[in-house]
Amino acid sequence: MCGIIGYTGDGNDVLDVLMTGLSGLEYRGYDSAGIALTNGSLSIYKRQGELSALESALPEGGLDGEAGIGHTRWSTHGPPADVNAHPHTGPDGNVAVVHNGIIENYRALREELAADGHVFESDTDTEVVPHLIERELAAGADPEAAFREAVGRLEGSYAIAAVFAGSETVYAARNESPLVLGLGEDGHYLASDVPAFIEYTDRVIYLEDGEFARLDADEVVVTDADGTVVETSVETIAWDPEDAGKSGYDHYMIKEIHEQPDAIRKCLRERVEEMTRSITVEELANLDAPESVQFVACGTSYHAALYGARLLRERGIPAQTFLASEYDVDEIPVPPETLVVGVTQSGETADTMSALRGANRAGATTLALTNVVGSSAARECDHVMYIRAGPEIGVAATKTFASQQVALALLASTVTGAPSQSFVEGLRKLPDQVRTVLDDSSAREIAETYERADAYFFIGRKYNEAVAYEGALKMKEITYKHAEGFAAGELKHGPLALVTDRTPVFAMVTQGSKPQKTLGNVKEVEARDAPVVAVTDSRELVEPYADFVMEVPETHPAFTPILANVQLQLISYWVANRLGRSIDKPRNLAKSVTVE
Active-site residue flag, 298:
no
Q: Give the residues across from 313 on adjacent strands.
A: none
What share of residues in the chain are helix, strand, coil (percent, to 5)? 40, 25, 40
Total Cβ atoms within 10 A of residue 501:
11
- Report strand pairing: 338-344 vs 365-370: parallel
| Residue 468, burial from CB neighbour count under 10 angstroms (0-12, 13-18, 19+) | buried
Give 210's Cβ-side CA count (13 Å radius).
7
Asked whether 150 and 105 are in contact (CB, 8 A), the reply is no
Q: For the chain, report the end-to-end CA distance as a whole number of angstroms.
A: 10
Q: Which residues contact 321 (CB under 8 A, 6 or more apart)?
A: 294, 295, 297, 302, 305, 306, 308, 309
The CA–CA distances, whole Å, from 218 to 8, 22, 42, 189, 474 equal 9, 23, 22, 12, 45
Asked whether 479 and 472 are in contact (CB, 8 A), the reply is no
Active-site residue flag, 267:
no
Asked whether 235 and 203 are in contact (CB, 8 A), the reply is yes
From CA 343, how far away is CA 297, in angstroms rounded?
Answer: 5
Output the CA torsion 209→174→22→169 (10° steps).
Answer: -120
The single residue of 2, 267, 298, 381 carrying the catalytic annotation is: 2
From CA 460, how far away is CA 482, in angstroms rounded?
Answer: 18
Total Cβ atoms within 10 A of residue 366:
24
The CA–CA distances, whole Å, from 322 to 306, 351, 543 equal 9, 11, 37
Asked whether 325 and 315 are in contact (CB, 8 A), the reply is no
Asked whether 122 and 98 are in contact (CB, 8 A), the reply is no
Q: Residue 504: name the closest of 466, 449, 544 by CA.
A: 449
Total Cβ atoms within 10 A of residue 78:
16
The single residue of 474, 476, 481, 591 carrying the catalytic annotation is: 591
299 φψ region: left (φ > 0), alpha (ψ -120 to 50), beta (else): left
- Active-site positions read 2, 591
